[in-house]
Amino acid sequence: MRLGVFGGSFDPIHWGHLQLAECCAAQAGLDRVLFVPAAAQPLKPGGAVASAADRLAMVAAAIAEDARFEASTVEIDRGGASYTVDTLATLAAERPGDELFFLMGADSLADIAKWRQPERICELATPLVVARAGEPPVDLAVLAPYVTAERLAEIEKLRVETPPASISSTELRRRIAGGEPWKDQVPPPAAEYIRARGLYRP
pLDDT band at 182 (very low <50, low <70, confident <90, very high): very high
CATH 3.40.50.620 assigned to domain 2-167? The reply is yes
Q: For 93-105, how does the pLDDT look when each residue is reduced to its tens digit (9 = 90+)?
A: 999 999 999 999 8
Query: Domain ranges in the chain?
Result: 2-167
Q: For 105-139, how does the pLDDT look when each residue is reduced to its tens digit (9 = 90+)?
A: 888 898 999 999 999 999 999 999 998 888 888 88
pLDDT band at 25 (very low <50, low <70, confident <90, very high): very high
Burial 12-28 (b: 16+ CB within 10 A, else e): bbbbbbbebbbbbbeeb
- Give the whole-angstrom CA distance, residue 138 versus residue 94: 32
Residue pair 66/100 in contact by the 8 Å Cβ criterion: no
pLDDT average, residue stretch 53-77:
97
Query: 53 - beta bridge partners?
Result: none
Average pLDDT, the chain: 94
pLDDT value of position 165: 76
